[in-house]
């Protein structure tokens, strides 16, 4: 299923919600290429300073590229993650710039899917053992806070049942609204 209009979709949410698997299947069904920063894991496990630099310098440039080129893209994580994770870890960020980038993406018609769970019981991050079920629940709450101010059209996708077909159908319906 190739869409006939430019599509910019961001798949965000706490770890262990299947974002990467969902994006891969969505790419298979739509023909839209996914993008996941190859430096993400190294940056997360390191000083995490690069996330703020990405927000300040890379994100505006990427928006400009998308606008000028008219390309479609499926983002596996994006600026909403900077908001949620910087809040959770008490890491320095730039709220004014987050809102500016949000407006830039909203002007492009970007849609955001926040993946989450009703229960994170027994779930722990595969990269950082300190991100346990309590932390994942708290991170999820930061994404809900993000939804209160974003100007991008957004939806919440509950993934507790891990039903990939249902998840893809809900996302495709959202994209085509």
Domains of the chain, by residue range, sit at 8-175
Give the Cα separation of 83 and 142 in Å (integer). Answer: 8
Can you give the pTM of this predicted structure?
0.91
pLDDT in tens, 62-71: 999 999 999 9
CATH of 8-175, one of 3.40.605.10, 3.40.190.10, 3.40.50.300, 3.40.228.10: 3.40.50.300
Greatest mean pLDDT range, 37-46, 55-64, 91-100: 91-100
Q: What is the pLDDT of residue 18?
A: 95
Q: What is the pLDDT of residue 17?
A: 96
Q: What is the pLDDT of residue 49?
A: 66
Give the Cα separation of 81 and 46 in Å (integer). Answer: 16
Q: Looking at residues 6-29, what average pLDDT do you find? A: 96
The region of weakest confidence among 30-34, 56-60, 118-122, 143-147 is 56-60
């Amino acid at each position: 299923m190739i869409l006939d209009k430019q599509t910019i979709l961001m798949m965000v949410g706490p770890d262990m919600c299947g974002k990467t698997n969902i994006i891969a299947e969505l790419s298979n069904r739509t023909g839209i290429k996914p993008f996941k920063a190859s430096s993400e894991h190294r940056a997360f496990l390191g000083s995490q300073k690069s996330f703020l630099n990405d927000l300040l310098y890379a994100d505006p440039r990427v928006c400009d590229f998308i606008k000028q080129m008219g390309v479609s893209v499926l983002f596996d994580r994006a600026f909403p993650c900077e908001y949620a994770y910087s809040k959770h870890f008490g890491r320095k960020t730039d709220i004014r710039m987050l809102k500016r980038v949000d407006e830039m993406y909203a002007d492009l018609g970007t849609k955001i899917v926040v993946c989450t769970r009703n229960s994170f019981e027994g779930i722990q991050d595969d990269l950082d053992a300190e991100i346990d079920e309590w932390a994942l629940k708290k991170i999820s709450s930061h994404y809900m806070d993000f939804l209160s101010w974003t100007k991008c059209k957004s939806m919440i996708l509950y993934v507790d049942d891990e039903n990939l077909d249902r998840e893809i159908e809900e996302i495709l319906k959202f994209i085509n609204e």
